[in-house]
Amino acid sequence: MVRLRFAPSPTGYLHVGGARTALFNWLYVRRHGGVFVLRIEDTDVERSSSDMVTGILQSMKWLGLDWDEGPHIGGPHAPYFQTGRLDRYRRAAGRLVASGHAYYCYCRPDDLKAKREAAQAAGTAWTYDRTCRALSSDEIAEREASGLPRAIRFLVPDGGRTSFKDLVHGKIEVEHENIEDFVILRSDGYPTYHLSVVVDDVDMEITHVVRGDDHISNTPKQVLLYEAMGASLPEFAHVPLILGPDKKRLSKRHGATSVGEYEAQGYLPEAMVNFLALLGWSPGDDREVFSRAELIAEFSLEGISGGNAVFNPDKLDWFNQQHIMRLPAQEILGRLRPALEAIGLTRGAFREGELARLVRAIDLVKPRAKKLVDLVPLLRPFITDAIEREPAAVAKHLADKSLAPHLAIWRERLEHLSPYDAATIELALRQVAEARGIKAAALIHATRVAVTGQAVSPGVFEVLEVLGRERAVSRLTEAEQLLA
């Protein structure tokens, strides 16, 4: 059974890059009937916070990326917070020392910093010089007896190279001379990323590690750790980074970068998932709009591109609009209910007859919305009894007092019109305009501003039908009074 994991660090909210990585893992697991593990890498205790953990979990839930093992669920490999697994890392580091794959390092941080700065001043690269590797057993015993603080470093083999197969980039090799003896356990007893991630992935039986390209340089060190522990290697797939429109790494200067910000702005999770899936992955054809089920059916690691992906906000808006159009009006109503209640929607609006009218209104206006929040002002005329008319719209289409008698005749005609549907309404308006010797457009624009308060709306005849006779007549009467 395939087992994949997403292991965010709660030093910030869920970034869109992390969300894309989580999505790729989740899609692969769901396609292959495996297990998706959510693990919180919170060993950076100074920067991690419970608020960030909560934010990450909320964003994962909003995206619909449910996990099979992890926080609030548990599982056979609990705990799923690294701060609850410190003893495991310390025991693993001790075993590596005992087997000769690691050694104690008593070097003081200030001394290491001085050596590094001296090398930089000389224009040379510095790697750890294995000072503590050369200590005799008596010297080690003396330092241990005195309680000197010490880290544990992994002993990189002399000569040779480490290689691994990447499912995206192919075979990757690194010469051992380019890997220093890296720290696996700090002097404060906390593991470094390299040790904790390998111990956790081994313990949790992770079969595939799918993560960002920025981890490629970490992988040779981790391969060495797997081998030293006698563990099998997982399959590795390093996915392209997400860049901003300027082809630089996505950051705050490009706008919102956390998933929570996009949720607050009115984007649909369906659209965000669709958009993120296509940042670095392709189904192999020109299709762009996918449901979640379609993405699961199509996703493969082989479809991941080796090139960096560009985050295009305009494209995200397009995806959001496409998914709004796909979303049933009843579902939209449920998601918008708090916002609609804030502008006057009452519980009575959910009675069967009123509900049907509101659903029709949503279907009528949703082609004009890029975000869910865009629907709120568009739906206002269908919800509230009193409307505010845009001054510019009134000045342009509802200020000519000569329109008053024409509008009065049109209002009287509408009041007694039967049947009351869009086609009959349109025919009646054009008949009134022709009989009164005015352009139909003038009456159409005046009617639109009168009943919606806006210069732009869906087709005015459909609006009048969905709005209902009573509200339409009442607002036309108000418009006549404006022209009086």
Per the annotation, the verdict on 61 as an active-site residue is: no
Q: Which two tokens stand for residue 128?
A: 């750890």
SS (H, E, C) 43-86: CCCCCCCHHHHHHHHHHHHHHCCCCCEECCCECCCCCCEHHHCH
Which residue type does 272 have?
M
- Sign, CA dihedral 319-322-324-330, equals negative
Please choose, from the candidates 58, 45, 70, the residue with its C-alpha nearest in 3D space to the C-alpha of residue 19.
58
* 304 DSSP β-pair partners: 281
Residues 254 and 91: their CA atoms lie apart, in Å, by 44
Burial letters 243-254, b for 16+ CB under 10 A, else e: bbeeeeebeeeb
Residues 115 and 109: their CA atoms lie apart, in Å, by 10
Residue 34 CA: distances (Å) to CA of 1, 5, 6, 29, 190: 5, 11, 14, 5, 31
The whole-angstrom distance between residue 266's C-alpha and the CA centroid of its chain comes to: 12
Phi, psi (deg, nearest 5) at residue 190: -95, 140
Q: 3-state DSSP call for residue 234? A: coil
In DSSP notation, 322-386 reads HHHHHS-HHHHHHHHHHHHHHTT--GGGGSHHHHHHHHHHHHHHGGG-SSGGGHHHHHHHHH-SS
Phi, psi (deg, nearest 5) at residue 150: -150, 145
Residues 471 and 385: their CA atoms lie apart, in Å, by 7
At a CB cut-off of 8 Å and minimum separation 6, what does 252 contact? none
Backbone Cα Rg of the chain: 32
Residues 406 and 302: their CA atoms lie apart, in Å, by 67
Write down the catalytic residue from 252, 366, 371, 439: 252
At a CB cut-off of 8 Å and minimum separation 6, what does 122 contact? none
Residues 450 and 396: their CA atoms lie apart, in Å, by 12
Residue 450: DSSP 8-state: H
| Cβ–Cβ under 8 Å, residues 307 and 216 | no
* Residues involved in catalysis: 252
